Amino acid sequence: MPKRELTSAQDGSQTEKAAKVQVECKEDSSLSNVATMDKTTPRTPEKTEKRKDYLSWDEYFMAVAFLSAQRSKDPSSQVGACVVNPEKKIVGIGYNGMPNGCSDDELPWARHAENELDTKYPYVCHAELNAILNKNSADIKGCTIYVALFPCNECSKLIIQAGLKEVIFYSDKYHDQPNCMASRKLLGMAGITYRQFKPKASEIVIDFTSIDGPPSNPTLSVSSP
């Protein structure tokens, strides 16, 4: 009887050992499968070099001007402006709109009317004016202004008086109008350079969801006025 109990104990021990061996074999097999998967599953290569499709300074600041224009209430023309200092820092942003304290629900937005007082022109502040007055620096002399439209003569007067050194514009669609002709004359006499911005692409897409993963549908397009 004692021998049979001993044999049973030995059998139980051998069974436990066999079970352990099976578990170890399964673990080894799983590790082997993982190793095989690591060898066969392609991995997305890590990007270690800097991006080459980033925005240039001109693209960046002009895009800021166009983005600020989206704040304008003007139904026919949304214009933005961005003032940048020599250190490539933004010191002023503005868009066309009515003066502070003057309701843009009560003042007219029409471009044409029998009475000029029923149009927007006697009341609206241009983007350049607002960008210069919204400056966050005591002095903006020597700065550059980026603006969607070539500035009119009134805005050029302000640009000259503020001491800006350069005007970078996108559209010159009013080139042959007297106010733009006078503007070029004033800027030239004051020694302020101006040049037209030539984008590499027609639009810049801002996708808010791209920060959480691959780019999806665009939420905002910045294009010509």
Per-residue pLDDT, averaged over 142-151, amounts to 98
Give the DSSP H/E element, type plus range, for residue 35. Answer: helix 2-40
Of 27, 46, 87, 128, the catalytic one is: 128
Residue 73 CB partners (closer than 8 Å, separation 6+) = 97, 98, 104, 109
Given the DSSP bridges, would you call strands 220-222 and 166-171 parallel, antiparallel or unpaired?
unpaired
- Say if residue 66's pLDDT is above 80: yes
d(Cα 11, Cα 1) in Å, to the nearest integer? 15
Single pTM value for the model: 0.75
Opening angle at CA 169, ends 221 and 73, nearest 5:
55
Residue scoring higher pLDDT (98 or 38): 98
Q: How far is CA 173 from CA 4, 11, 149, 180, 206, in A?
A: 107, 97, 8, 10, 26
- Say if residue 71's pLDDT is above 70: yes
Per-residue pLDDT, averaged over 134-153, amounts to 95
pLDDT in tens, 9-25: 555 555 565 555 454 55
Position 39 confidence tier, pLDDT thresholds 50, 70, 90? low
Examine the residue annotation and report whether 128 is marked as an active-site residue of this protein: yes
